[in-house]
Chains A and B, each alone.
Chain A
Amino acid sequence: MSSIERMISFPLAGEVAWRLGAPPSWRRFKPPLSALAIEDDPVVWSADFSGGAYLRNGAGAALAGMLACVRSSEALMQGTDAGFHSFGPDAAPVLPGIGLDVWGQFPSLLRSGNNPAAADWSNTGLSIVDSETTVLGIFNETILVSGGTLAARRVQNLVLTSGVPVSVSFLYKAGTSGRGRILLFGSGSDSLILRGVAGNLLGSSVVGGTLSRLVNSDLGSGIYCCSFTWTPSNPGTGTGVGIGPDSAVAGSTLVALGVDVVPASIPVPWISNAASSVTRLASDVAIHDFAALSAAHGLAAGFAGRDVVDLRRLSDAVPRTVWSRGTDADNRIALEIGTGNKVRLTVRLGGADVLTLETADGFATTGLKTIDYVCADGLWSLAATGLAGAVSAASVAVPALGVAHIGRNFGATPAYLNGAIAFSRIERTV
């Protein structure tokens, strides 16, 4: 290829400035190489978890090349389609339309809550018919038939602890009674009964403990979910959970799909109890081979980025980690949604917190929140949707970058996000 052929489009205005085959009179001109070079893309790693598009090292990538996930259990997550998505062991829980849903470890207090027809449930004043019909992929329809008493119920034992809140979910369809009932009781002095028209179960008896966050949801296809938090004060022993058609008419029914009772103060995704042990282990998610990525792009000299978090709760009493990057609990940068829903960036070096940037106010509403940040010596900044940002010119070095946790922190208190990240991007700053 001659220099003439390569340069026929020069100058950039587009017109051919000389006749083809004839060298330009100014052919000794050579623009500097820096002017010819294509500007380097600063994006090092970018994950649109909600949309399913991934970029690593400037090229498209598969999810498996973006993340490393460890979790020795199945994880069930509810998608935007109201269906339940099952993720096998070590599969990153990425929900289409929602994002990467990172949760810590939660046990279910019920051994077979997914299936009220299982043998470890018992009957009080009622009989059951196992319809052997599966809905939403995992739930078995069990028809509860009243024997003619209002308190008729299907019961499973569990252990509650005074002062320890439990998050309860009851999934059902209306039967012939058109009503439903769920209760938590024990030999202690407190108990809870929720009952009413299907789709709207309300507290009819709240004794001793505290009922909060009661939500009745219509999932479509005739399926309802009643979820709430119960904090017992004196549950005693002999505690159980009961569900029934709330009808004194013999033969009237409710269709039960499942019950989950989890020691937590926040609503928790359904826990699979298909296996012998009913605990969903933590999803330990990190950027795949982050040490190599960081070294290749010089991120230790500084990096910037953006995260879009699907904020579903404002009431968490503990910080929620969006990400943490470093080597260990004593040497890391962490981006968190702290108490009061303020956004916080902290740098810890040698075990000492050497820099804290925090928004003056916290998020006042739920929904998608965009968080932008710059982490570089003398150029620290933080901004978030609807909040006044924070900046610092402090001379603080970026810690060594060996591991990049997503949705959890290093150390004894991982402070899991317990929620979803829709989008995440990392750019180099130099």
Chain B
Amino acid sequence: MHIYTLKAESPAALAAMLDAAQAGKPRPFVTWDGGSPVFDGARIVYPVPETVAGEPQPDPETGEPVTPFEPTGLWLCEVRLREADAELAAMIEA
């Protein structure tokens, strides 16, 4: 499996990247329904906020510190393909 992780400032921006990468391919990464992107749920993990480890917080029951995840403001989506995709690879390198 070839896995490509794309990062952008919003789900719409991720959809635009996928739209640009899918030209001429038999199965689209994303389609559009009333202006809203529809991601191919069989091959693409739907966009999620990127998170990083934040400041430790006390466990309310034990008081021991627990490190939360905090969003960075960026969004990620992961494309999983059986075959390599040169366009997606180029986007990640750029």
Contacts and interface: CB of A to CB of B under 8 A. Distances in A.
Contacts of B33: 329, 411-412
A124 B68 contact: no
A333 interface: no
Nearest to B34: A412
Contact of B45 (A104, A155, A281, A329): A281
Interface string A10-22: 0000000000000
Interface residues of B, number: 34
Contacts of A237: 54, 57, 68-70
A89 B67 contact: no
Nearest to B53: A157
A284 B82 CA distance: 15
Contacts of B34: 412
B45 A279 contact: yes
A124 B51 CA distance: 24
Interface stretch (B6-14, B15-23, B36-44, B86-94): B36-44
A131 interface: no
Interface in A277-292: 277, 279, 281-284
A331 interface: no
A251 B64 CA distance: 21
A25 B59 CA distance: 102
A238 B45 contact: no
B1 to A, nearest CB: 6
Contact of B69 (A107, A157, A191): A157
Size category of the A interface is: 35 or more
Interface in A256-307: 276-277, 279, 281-284
Contact of A238 (B27, B48, B68): B68
A281 B1 CA distance: 13
A283 B40 CA distance: 11
A125 B59 CA distance: 12
B81 interface: yes
B44 to A, nearest CB: 8
Contacts of B56: 238
Interface in A92-109: 104-105, 107
A218 interface: no
A56 B69 CA distance: 51
A124 B59 contact: yes
Contacts of B68: 157, 159, 186-187, 237-239
B62 A124 contact: yes
A157 B43 contact: no
Q: Name the residue in A70, A90, A283 with the highest tally of chain B Cβ atoms < 10 Å from its Cβ.
A: A70
B57 A281 contact: no
Contact of A157 (B3, B64, B66): B66
Contact of B42 (A70, A124, A159): A70
A263 to B, nearest CB: 10
B59 A414 contact: no
B47 to A, nearest CB: 11
Contact of B80 (A73, A149, A236, A239): A73
Contact of B41 (A155, A159, A411, A414): A414
Contacts of B36: 412
Nearest to A281: B42
Given A238-B66, A238-B68, A240-B66, A187 B58 contact: yes
A208 to B, nearest CB: 11
Contacts of A281: 41-45, 80
A151 B43 CA distance: 41
Nearest to A70: B42
Contact of A72 (B38, B57, B62, B81): B81
A30 to B, nearest CB: 54
Nearest to B67: A157
A155 B66 contact: yes
Q: Name the residue in B27, B42, B44 with the highest tally of chain A Cβ atoms < 10 Å from its Cβ.
A: B42
A224 interface: no
B62 A283 contact: no
Contacts of B40: 284
> Which 5 A-B pairs have CB atoms at the shortest separation, nearest pair first?
A238-B57, A412-B33, A72-B80, A282-B41, A284-B42
Given A72-B42, A187-B58, A239-B68, 6 more contacts: A105-B46, A151-B61, A155-B66, A157-B68, A238-B58, A412-B36
20 contacts: A70-B27, A72-B80, A105-B45, A105-B46, A107-B48, A155-B66, A185-B59, A186-B68, A237-B57, A237-B68, A238-B56, A240-B59, A281-B41, A281-B42, A281-B44, A281-B80, A282-B41, A282-B42, A411-B33, A412-B34
